[in-house]
Amino acid sequence: TSWQPDEFDAEFFAIAPREAAGMDPQQRLLMEVTWEALENAGIDPRRIRGSQTGVFVGVTTSDYYHALSGQLRREDIDPYIPFGSAPNFAAGRLSYFLGARGPAVVMDTACSSSLVSIHLACQSLRRGESDHALAAGVNLILTPENSIACSRWGMLAPDGQCKTFDVAANGYVRSEGCGVVVLKRLSDAQRDGDRILAVVRGSGVGQDGASSGQTVPNGPAQQELLRRVLTTARLDPAEIDYIEAHGTGTGLGDPIE
């Protein structure tokens, strides 16, 4: 196309000062990274307007809202405070600014939120309700409460080092960041001459169900999910060359996973 990434127009994402003050920084970061993802995909964000583009975002914390609301008098709370920080606005705001008309969904499945967003985005593409899909996950640590709670629960590594699958594993480390991927049906991407970085052959979502504790993994349940996804992807286990695992970094969870 003739469009160049350096044509970014700040007015496209213009935000009123009052609205900006009430907006969760997670949503600001998500907007910036989404723009970068579209640039990387060679898609002019303005061409999203009116299209069946789905937005699927994983968000699991609301630190900014709790910190901000606790400092304000009731008479100082305006509509931007609760709605600007509401998790559903993370997806809704993107759809609004981009003019996307596909599904706009925010999900919280804890550590798997961003992966579940990719799963739901793929399902939406396969069903034909979306022609493009933005799948994302964002997390910022803005208050200490969650870290304090996780530490007292014995989840966090006292030395700040995550030693997953190591005999010295004694907890995980909380982190921040944002990631956005632009997804299309493979046939559409090939037709449009897109630069294809990867193909999602299959995906699946499951809960461990009953185990020895709500935060304790269930080995057989995870094995069953892996087998189901391999069947969906029409792959044999021997064809898998690389596995990226989510380890809890704890002496209890790591051996199970």
**C-alpha distances out from residue 56 to 33, 120, 175, Å:** 14, 7, 21
pLDDT of residue 102: 96
pLDDT of residue 253: 82
pLDDT averaged over the chain? 87
pLDDT of residue 2: 39
Chain centroid to Cα 134, Å, comes to 10
Residue 146 has pLDDT above 80, yes or no: yes
Q: Please name the residues in contact with 99: beta carbons below 8 A apart, sequence gap of 6 or more.
A: 48, 49, 50, 51
Mean pLDDT confidence for 214-239? 90
Rounded to the nearest 10°, the torsion over CA 188, 191, 197, 199 is 50
Contact 132, 103 (CB under 8 A): no
Q: How far apart are alpha carbons 147 and 174 in whole angstroms?
A: 8
Residue 8 has pLDDT above 50, yes or no: no
Q: Which two tokens stand for residue 157?
A: 């590594």
Q: How far apart are alpha carbons 9 and 58 in whole angstroms?
A: 27
CB count within 10 Å of CB 144 equals 11
| From 1-10, 50-59, 62-71, 187-196, the region with the lowest mean pLDDT | 1-10
Q: Please name the residues in contact with 92: beta carbons below 8 A apart, sequence gap of 6 or more.
A: 104
| pLDDT tens, position by position, 13-25 | 566 666 667 789 9
- Confidence band of 122 (pLDDT split at 50, 70, 90): very high
Q: How far apart are alpha carbons 171 and 168 in whole angstroms?
A: 9
Q: Which two tokens stand for residue 151?
A: 């530490």
Percent of the chain with pLDDT over 70: 91
Nearest to 138 by CA among 91, 103, 82: 91
